Amino acid sequence: MSYALRNTIILLVTLFLFVGAGLGFTKFYQQGKIVDLAAELEVQNQDLTSKQQIQDQYPGLLDRYNTAREIVLGYDKTLFPSNDPDDIYNYLSEIQGDELELFYDFVLEDSTQQGQYGIINSKITGLGVYADFVTFINMLENSELLNKVSEISVLPGNNIEDLEYVDFSFKLQSYYQRETFDSQDSGNDPIRMNESISIFNPFKPLVLNDIPPNTDNLVDVQTSRLLGLTGSRVFIVDNSGERHSLKIGDKVYLGYLESINTQEREAIFNLDKGGITELFTLKVIR
């Protein structure tokens, strides 16, 4: 074989190898890469289309959000931030404060979920002054945090010393948020009440069978003597010989000093004898 023919054959084989390698690279690698890139391009196009749709919907969604936010911020009620029973108990203590004479037990029953909010169910049982109990319920239902009172039971006291006291129980539903929503301080007092609600105790008799005892050791003007008076004060000696000075409005047993009549030299007391009101007059004995 001539040298020229051998070189030609070598060149042809080399050319075939290059061509085969190029065709193999194109067919088995580049075409696969093209398929992968085409699939990725399709995904990116779908993502772009989805984001363009979101972009188109955004102005309307923003308007709906702002409208909903204005509605929520316009409410005079808010929800508890979580379903922690301690938050509810502390809230009840805050409402009661130091002025309401109530003694009660707080019993957690269960907690339920209702979509974006939940309800903590509890039962309150206790004893207290009727007027303070009504005020407590009033503030609980009218204050900022959302609570619903139901199944109220109130029983009166059994003796004359307990006429102002009642035994009570009620169910309490406290609403809490499960999803955080934008909120802000309304600037209003979070503890509120309806001032028009009456605190009159229907369990207390209008007329008592027995006159209340003199537990505060006040002056019993019905067994006292009027020693003297001025335009603003009267001077009394009680049945034990102790002297007292009273001005208009001062409390006495069963009532208070209503007025002083210097011309008639007499003091007029307004007395409540267990529901029967009468004016009792003391005169200076000449």
Please write the tens of the pLDDT for every residue from 62-72. Answer: 676 666 555 55
| C-alpha to C-alpha distances, 177 to 26, 76, 112, nearest whole angstrom | 61, 16, 12
Q: Write the pLDDT tens digit of every residue in 111-170.
A: 888 778 899 999 999 999 999 999 999 999 999 899 999 999 999 876 555 678 899 999
Is the pLDDT at 89 greater than 90, yes or no? yes
| C-alpha to C-alpha distances, 184 to 70, 78, 95, 173, nearest whole angstrom | 11, 10, 21, 24
Q: Write the pLDDT tens digit of every residue in 208-250.
A: 667 788 888 899 999 999 999 998 899 999 988 899 999 999 9
Structure pTM? 0.54
Task: Check residue 167 and report its DSSP letter.
Answer: E
Among residues 171, 173, 124, 121, the alpha carbon closest in space to that of 147 is found at: 173
Residue 181's pLDDT is: 60
How high is the mean pLDDT of the chain?
Answer: 82
Share of the chain above pLDDT 70, in %: 76
Q: Which two tokens stand for residue 218?
A: 């006040």
Count of CA atoms in the C-beta half-sphere (13 A) of 147: 27
Q: Which residues contact 25 (CB under 8 A, 6 or more apart)?
A: none
Residue 101's pLDDT is: 92
Rounded to an integer, what is the distance from CA 88 to the centroid of its chain? 8
Average pLDDT over residues 39-64: 78
**What's the N-to-C CA distance of the chain in angstroms?**
171
